[in-house]
Structure 1
Amino acid sequence: MGLTSNKVLLLSVLFALLLFVGTVWLWPRLAERNWRAVGGRVGLLLATQLALFASIGLSANQAFGFYASWADLFGQETEQGVVVDHSSGGGSAGPLRVVDTRRVDGGGNGRPRSGGQVQKVAVNGRTTHITTPAYVYLPPEYFEPAYRTRTFPAAVVLTGYPGTAEALVDKLHYPRTARQLARDGSMQPMILVMMRPTVAPPRDTECVDIPGGPQTETFFAKDLREAVAAHYRVGKKASNWGIIGDSTGGYCALKLAMHHPEAYAAAAGLSAYYKAPIDPTTGDLFHGNKTLRNEADLLWFLKNRSAPAASLLVTSSRAGESNYKATQKFIELAKATDRTKVSSIILESGGHNFNTWRREIPPTLQWISGRLSDR
C-alpha cells in the first residue's frame, strides 16, 4: 500500500484509536511502582503518541502532497529509469515518449472524447540532455474529429520544491478544473504540461542555467516546448504558450516569461517569490557570476533590463503570505514599464498551501486562456 493510500491512513487512525483504548483499559493494571509497570506505562504512552503523530502526518501529506511514495519520503528517487539516447532528436523514441495514460477524475465514462485524458510522459531535452517525467492533460476536444486539424494552446504547470507532479493532477485538480471551465465556456480548450521544476533531483536548480551544471532554464525555454510540439498538436509561437507555477514554480514561471518572451507570452506566479535563494538545496547556482545572479532577481530585472513583451499574473494574500510586500513592489515596477502587462489576485487571507492555490487556479486558468491563441 502506497504512502498516499486511503487504506494506509485508515489503518494508522485505527491503530492509534486501538492504542488509546488499550492505554485507558490497561492503565489500572500498570499502576504499581515497579520497573515493569513503569516501563509498560512509558511504552503505551510512547506508542500511542507515535501512532497519533503518524496519523496526523499521513493526513497532512494527503492534503498537501508533500511526498508521493515511501521512497520519496525516505529520499529515494523513483523516476530515474528512463533511458536516454543523446543522439540528435533524442533517439528513435523521439524527444517525448508516452509511458502511461489515465482518465481525468470525474470524466464520465472515461472515454477521452468525453472526459479528456492525462498521459504520463518522459521528456528528453535535445540540447540540454535533461530527462524528466511529466503529465500531459489533453482536453476532450483533442480527440474529436472536428478538431483533428486544429492546434491547441498549451500551458506548462510547475509545482513548488520539492513538490510532485502527481499533486498537480490529484491534489490541485488542474485537469478536472480545466475541463470544467472549458465545458462552461469560461476558457478555451488547452493542453496542460504538468511537472516539477526539479528536473535534476534532488537539487533545487531554481530554473537557472547553472555554469557547468544543469541547464534548467534552457530546458524549459527551448527543449520542453520543442518536445511537446513535436508530439502533440500544439502551436509553436509564443502566443500559443503560457506557464503557471506555485511557490518555486511560480518564480520559475515569471522568470521564464520575462527572460524568454519569445517562448512564453503569459505567465502566472501563485505565491511566487522574486529572487532565487541560495541554500543547501540549491548549492552554488551562479558560481560568482554577478550578472546571472542579478538577472535571476526579478525586481532587479524590471528595473535594469528592457521590459519584456509578456502578460504576467501574480498572487498573494494580505494575511498569511510572506510575499505580499514583494508582490506589491513587483506590480509597481511592472506597471511602470511600457510593454509588460501585469495582473494580480490578492486574497484577504490565505497561507502558502494547496487550499489557497485551489482558490486561485480557476481564475488563473481563465486569465491565461484569454491571453493565448490557438493559431
Structure 2
Amino acid sequence: MPLKRSRTALSAVSVLALALGLAACGSEPGSPGSDKQPAADGAKSPSAAQSSTPPPKPTKVLMPTGPAADLKKVRDTAAGPITMTTLTGPKSGVSGKVWVWLPPEYNDPKFAKTGFPVLTLYAGGQSAGYNTWTDNQLPIEEIGAELSKQGKSHPFIMVMPVQNLDSNEAKALECSDIPGQPKIGTWMSQDIPDFVRANFRTVKGRDGWGLMGASTGAFCSAKLALQHPDVFKAAVPIDGYFNPDSPLWKGHDAERLANSPDELVGKGADVRLLATAGGANAYELKLVKKWVAKAAAPTTIEYYEQPGGKHLTSDFKKMIPVTLEWLTKNLAGPESD
C-alpha cells in the first residue's frame, strides 16, 4: 500500500496509527513494512497451497432433486414393472398420465451412484389416457433389456406420457401449446423432464435425453426435438407426418407454422434424427424423404427404410432393435462420478 511521507515529524500517536494501518493492509511477507518472513525454501505458504489445489471434478450425474412422485405399479413385464402417476405440471397446468419403466440396472446396488439416459416414447393415434409402449403391442422394455445385456443398447429410463387429453380427433393438441388450449407442449418439454429429474438418477445435460414415437408420436418426437435442442439431443420419428393438421389450429396459422416439423427442420437446430418409412407405403416414402431433404445444418437426419414395412403397430414393433441401437450410438450412456 503506497504511503506518502509527512513533511513534519510523526508524533508517537501517528506512528502507532501508521503501524496499525499497515497491519490492517495485510502486507505481503518480505515486503517493506512487514515483520513476516518469506516461507522457507520448499515450504508453501497457506495461500500458495490453496491456489495449487485442483478444482473439483465436474459431476456428470444428477441425483433426484425431489419431491418424489406417487408412482404405482400398473403392469409387470419380463424385464421389470411399469409404474404410472398422474403429473400435474407446475409450468403448464396440464394434468395427465405418465408411465415409467426403469431398466434392471437402475436398482442394482452396483449402479447406486450412476445416472441413466432417458428415452421418452410417444404412441400413435390420439393416445388419450393410454400409451401403446406400455402394453404388449410394443414390448420395448423386454427388447431393450435384452439388447442391454448384449451390449447393443443403453439401459434407458423409459418415460411414456399421454399425448392428448381427449380422444376426439377434433381436439388433437399435437404436442403443442395451441392458443386457447391446454399447454401440453410445455408439459412435454418442461414439466416431464423436471418430473424425471426430480425422481430418478439421470445424466446431467441434454446428451442423455432422447425421444421416439410412431405415427402421431413420430410427429411429436420430431417437433419437440427440433423445438427444444437445449433439452433433447436425438429423436427417432417412425413413419411420421410433419405438418400440423389439428382443427384447433384454425385462426392461428403463425403459431401452427411455429410448431410444424416441416418448417422447423430447416431452422438448423443442433439435434440428430433417424427418420423411418415403411417400404410398402409409397405415399409415406415420398413424404418422409421430402422432409429429410429439408434438413439444414447442424440438424442431421439419417433415413431408414423398413423393407416391406406398412403403417402398422406390428411393423413398428420390428423397428425397436434398429431404433434402440441408433439411439445408443447418438446419446450418452450411463455415467458415474
Task: Answer whether TM exceeds 0.5 for this pair.
Answer: yes
- What is the match of residue 279 of structure 2? 318
- What is the match of residue 117 of structure 2? 153
- What is the match of residue 111 of structure 1? none
8 Å contact from structure 1 (residues 251, 269) kept in 2: yes
Inter-partner Cα distance in structure 1 for 2:123 and 2:177: 19
**Corresponding position: 1:253 with 2:231:** no
Inter-partner Cα distance in structure 1 for 2:223 and 2:201: 26
8 Å contact from structure 2 (residues 124, 132) kept in 1: no
Report the TM-score, using the length of structure 2 for normalisation.
0.74
Aligned counterpart for 2:255 among listed residues 269, 292, 297: 292
Inter-partner Cα distance in structure 1 for 2:75 and 2:176: 32
Inter-partner Cα distance in structure 1 for 2:226 and 2:166: 23
**Residue 238 of structure 1 aligns to a residue in which SS?**
coil
Amino acid at match of 1:178: G
Aligned counterpart for 1:186 among listed residues 128, 138, 152: 152
CA gap of 1:201–1:128, structure 2 versus 1, over 3 A, is farther
**Which ranges of structure 2 fall in alignment gaps of 5 or more residues?**
1-65
Inter-partner Cα distance in structure 2 for 1:301 and 1:144: 41
Inter-partner Cα distance in structure 2 for 1:246 and 1:98: 25
Inter-partner Cα distance in structure 1 for 2:166 and 2:320: 27
- What is the match of residue 309 of structure 1? 270
8 Å contact from structure 1 (residues 116, 138) kept in 2: yes
Deviation of the 1:207 alpha carbon: 0.7
CA gap of 1:201–1:317, structure 2 versus 1, over 3 A, is closer
Report the TM-score, using the length of structure 1 for normalisation.
0.67
**Corresponding position: 1:367 with 2:326:** yes
- What is the match of residue 51 of structure 1? none
Deviation of the 1:339 alpha carbon: 0.5
Aligned counterpart for 2:191 among listed residues 216, 223, 227: 223
**Residue 145 of structure 2 aligns to a residue in which SS?**
helix
- What is the match of residue 80 of structure 1? none
Inter-partner Cα distance in structure 1 for 2:99 and 2:264: 31
Deviation of the 1:124 alpha carbon: 2.0
Amino acid at match of 2:91: T
Q: Which of the two has greater helix per residue? A: 1
- What is the match of residue 11 of structure 1? none
Higher relative contact order (CA 8 A, sep 6+): 2
Deviation of the 1:166 alpha carbon: 4.8
* CA shift digits 1:134-162 (9 cap, x unpaired): 22111111011110011100000010122
Deviation of the 1:236 alpha carbon: 4.4
- What is the match of residue 61 of structure 2? none
Aligned counterpart for 2:89 among listed residues 125, 149, 174: 125
Aligned counterpart for 2:308 among listed residues 340, 349, 364: 349
Inter-partner Cα distance in structure 1 for 2:326 and 2:165: 27
**1:1-375 to 2 correspondences below 5 Å:** 94=67, 96-105=69-78, 115-163=79-127, 164-199=130-165, 201-202=167-168, 203-278=171-246, 283-285=247-249, 287-303=250-266, 305=267, 307-320=268-281, 322-334=283-295, 337-373=296-332, 374-375=334-335
8 Å contact from structure 1 (residues 321, 352) kept in 2: no
Inter-partner Cα distance in structure 2 for 1:237 and 1:370: 17
CA gap of 1:321–1:157, structure 2 versus 1, over 3 A, is farther
Q: How many pairs align?
A: 265
**Residue 93 of structure 2 aligns to a residue in which SS?**
coil
* CA shift digits 1:251-310 (9 cap, x unpaired): 0000000010011100110111011113xxxx323x52332122233222334x3x0000
* CA shift digits 1:61-95 (9 cap, x unpaired): xxxxxxxxxxxxxxxxxxxxxxxxxxxxxxxx957
Amino acid at match of 2:211: I
8 Å contact from structure 2 (residues 210, 327) kept in 1: yes
Deviation of the 1:209 alpha carbon: 0.4
CA gap of 1:177–1:299, structure 2 versus 1, over 3 A, is same
**Residue 333 of structure 1 aligns to a residue in which SS?**
coil
8 Å contact from structure 1 (residues 153, 191) kept in 2: yes
* CA shift digits 1:319-364 (9 cap, x unpaired): 2263211211122122xx2211111220232221111101111110
CA gap of 1:319–1:135, structure 2 versus 1, over 3 A, is same
| Rg (Cα) greater in structure | 2
Amino acid at match of 1:327: V
Amino acid at match of 1:198: N
8 Å contact from structure 1 (residues 271, 314) kept in 2: yes
**Residue 203 of structure 2 aligns to a residue in which SS?**
coil
